[in-house]
A and B are shown apart, each in its own frame.
Chain A
Amino acid sequence: MLKVKNLSLNFGGVKALQNVSFEVREQEVLGLVGPNGAGKTTSFNVFSGNVRPTSGEVTYDGHDILKSSMHKRVKFGIGRTFQIPQPMHELTVRENLMVSQRFGRPDKKVDQQRISEILDSVNLLHKSESDAATELALTERKALEVAKALATEPSLLMLDEVLAGLETTGKKLFMETLKKIRKQFNLSMIVIEHDIETISNLCDRIVVLNFGKVIAEGTPDETFRNPEVIRSYTGEENA
């Protein structure tokens, strides 16, 4: 599906990404982890078209997506969420999804039935008609962020710290929702998350970044036992 090859990105003298290579397989959930500043969100920004890389290749189902603008990448089937939810202000919850469908789906159709299904899957159906997106609570905003991406009918969903800021129960419930939508919508996912328990529970495979480089890759068990990964999280002396 998504293949990343030798991806590098410099911000002036800062090497945000250095020869990063990995792939996401069909219907796989891949965890992208690492300490703050490792290059996780920067990778998402490159995949979704927010920033251009300095060098490297990113293909999705054989398409060189780096040549396409942000809005065209959505039509390839790549959806994403932001760590700080980005609702469309002033629009209701349902209108947020109508716009997402109209412009994100390849057939450009607004399907109210489908919108209801999506809202139901993220437990937002009761909020759909009257509530402005900005009036939602944090969990609901996060759910809307996921729903907006789902409305574009993605085959790959990139979730950027979608559980961050939620309390323990909310986190567990949201994780169950993510598991449910993965099956319901036949999705592949890339998940950025700091919480190791969540990552282990949700992901099939993990890629660990540190200082813009891939330092480990494998199953959650393998990866979190890797000494270099432990060093990157806890410091040299604890390894």
Chain B
Amino acid sequence: MSNFRIFAPLAIVMYIIVPFLFSGNDYLMGMIATALIIAGIALAWALLGNLGGMVSFGHAAFFGVGAYTSAVLTMDYNVPVFLAMIIAGFGASLASVFMMPALRLHGPYFALAILAYAHIFMILATEMTSITGGAAGLLSIPNLPVFMGFDFGTKLGGYIVILNIVSLALVVYHLIRRSTYGLALKAMHDSELATRIVGVPATQLKAIMLVVSAFITGCVGAFNAHFINFLDPEYAFSGEWTVIPIVAAIFGGYRTLSGPVLGALFIYLADQLVFKSLLPQGHQLILGALLGGMILLSPSGLLPIITNMFKRFSKKGDAQHVES
């Protein structure tokens, strides 16, 4: 199934139908925007996992660094919000450079090393009180601005900004994936030696992916800071910013392009809008069972199930067309 056949309907739904139907409902728009925040991190995480085979437990670090960078730049240095969000991406990329020594590790060792780095960043944010406000955090972080007459500080405006960030991340991911760099990175997932022996600088490519993944996550973190206008280290570097996107990516299909986005939308919205009302205390249990079931029944995730259904449906349609 071509990427266009997946993206075209998805883009129509997200850019036209969702704003048209729900723009008046701030609660729902906020909810969908939060799902897209998770989608952005899930996509960045999957980029690292799919292209290069690295399992990161430290994306909360990039998210937190991005959030704090943008918040401090806008509050203390009056940098315009959108510019600060881009610089925040570079800030997160810079943070990822400190994690480069971990690239020599593989599998669980890499995952644990990255987790340790994430904790270090949280401690730094707590201790550097003069910059980050310490454990008390930062209040009154500037809202997303009015730009070309449109107020991005509203729930609808925020939704459009995060949707654009996720869309750009998808485009970047797609371009990387279809290049020869992408082919080499994809191959490194299961057969790193096979790539090294033909001249692929595997560690350098993985480093580039780490920087790109951190940049995307940093921008998403920055967006979140301006969307909720508050930060503290416990929140910004919370393990939830790692775990939920991983669950979403695996649920949607982390080796596919749009699987992590679909996974995040499904997981977060189903959890908040359905499971929570069914089981107010412990609604995450349903989510856990759902993920377990998905891994057992379709380890490749939700997207392959959907694409197979489409294929079957179109085959049936073709057959009926031939018969008639």
- Asked if A and B are interacting partners, one says yes
Asked whether A102 and B184 contact (CB < 8 A) given A71-B202, A88-B191, the answer is yes
Asked whether B198 lies within 8 Å of A152 as measured between CB atoms, the reply is: yes
User: What's the least CB distance linking B293 to chain A, in Å?
Assistant: 26
Contact of B199 among A86, A90, A103, A110 (CB under 8 A): A103
Interface string of B154-195 (1 = CB under 8 A from A): 000000000000000000000000001001101101110111
Instruction: Decide yes or no whether A29 CB sits under 8 A from chain B.
Output: no
Q: What A residues does B180 contact at CB under 8 A?
A: 98-99, 102-103, 110
Main secondary structure of the interface of B (DSSP, over half): helix
Instruction: Decide yes or no whether A34 CB sits under 8 A from chain B.
Output: no
Interface string of A94-105 (1 = CB under 8 A from B): 011011101111
Instruction: Decide yes or no whether B295 CB sits under 8 A from chain A.
Output: no
Asked whether A99 and B196 contact (CB < 8 A) given A71-B201, A110-B180, the answer is no
Q: What B residues does A74 contact at CB under 8 A?
A: 197-199
Question: Which residue on chain A has the smallest CB distance to residue B193?
Answer: A86
Q: What B residues does A151 contact at CB under 8 A?
A: 198
Asked whether A89 and B190 contact (CB < 8 A) given A95-B183, A98-B180, A98-B183, the answer is yes
Main secondary structure of the interface of A (DSSP, over half): helix
Asked whether B197 lies within 8 Å of A103 as measured between CB atoms, the reply is: no
Instruction: Decide yes or no whether B243 CB sits under 8 A from chain A.
Output: no
Q: What B residues does A148 contact at CB under 8 A?
A: 194, 198
Instruction: Decide yes or no whether A52 CB sits under 8 A from chain B.
Output: no
Instruction: Decide yes or no whether A48 CB sits under 8 A from chain B.
Output: yes
Question: Which residue on chain A has the smallest CB distance to residue B187?
Answer: A88
Instruction: Decide yes or no whether B135 CB sits under 8 A from chain A.
Output: no
Task: Give Cα A89 to B195, complex, Å.
Answer: 10
Instruction: List CB contacts (< 8 Å) of B130-145 with chain A.
Output: none
Task: Give Cα A50 to B192, complex, Å.
Answer: 12
Q: What B residues does A79 contact at CB under 8 A?
A: 198
Task: Give Cα A200 to B200, complex, Å.
Answer: 35
Asked whether A103 and B201 contact (CB < 8 A) given A71-B196, A91-B183, A110-B180, the answer is yes
Asked whether A104 lies within 8 Å of B186 as measured between CB atoms, the reply is: no
Contact of A70 among B183, B189, B196 (CB under 8 A): B196
User: What's the least CB distance linking A88 to chain B, in Å?
Assistant: 3
Asked whether A99 and B190 contact (CB < 8 A) given A91-B183, A110-B180, the answer is no
Instruction: Decide yes or no whether A80 CB sits under 8 A from chain B.
Output: yes
Task: Give Cα A90 to B187, complex, Å.
Answer: 7
Instruction: Decide yes or no whether A182 CB sits under 8 A from chain B.
Output: no
Most buried by A among B190, B193, B197, B202: B197
Asked whether A99 and B191 contact (CB < 8 A) given A71-B196, A71-B199, A71-B200, the answer is no
Asked whether A90 lies within 8 Å of B186 as measured between CB atoms, the reply is: yes
Q: What B residues does A110 contact at CB under 8 A?
A: 180
Task: Give Cα A100 to B198, complex, Å.
Answer: 5
Task: Give Cα A134 to B202, complex, Å.
Answer: 21
Task: Give Cα A50 to B191, complex, Å.
Answer: 14
User: What's the least CB distance linking B134 to chain A, in Å?
Assistant: 44
Listed by A's residue number, 21 A-B pairs whose Cβ atoms lie within 8 Å are: A71-B199, A74-B197, A75-B199, A82-B193, A82-B197, A86-B191, A87-B194, A88-B194, A89-B194, A98-B183, A99-B184, A99-B195, A99-B198, A99-B200, A100-B199, A103-B198, A103-B199, A103-B200, A105-B199, A148-B194, A149-B197
8 closest pairs, A vs B, by CB? A88-B187, A74-B199, A104-B199, A86-B194, A100-B198, A103-B199, A102-B180, A89-B190
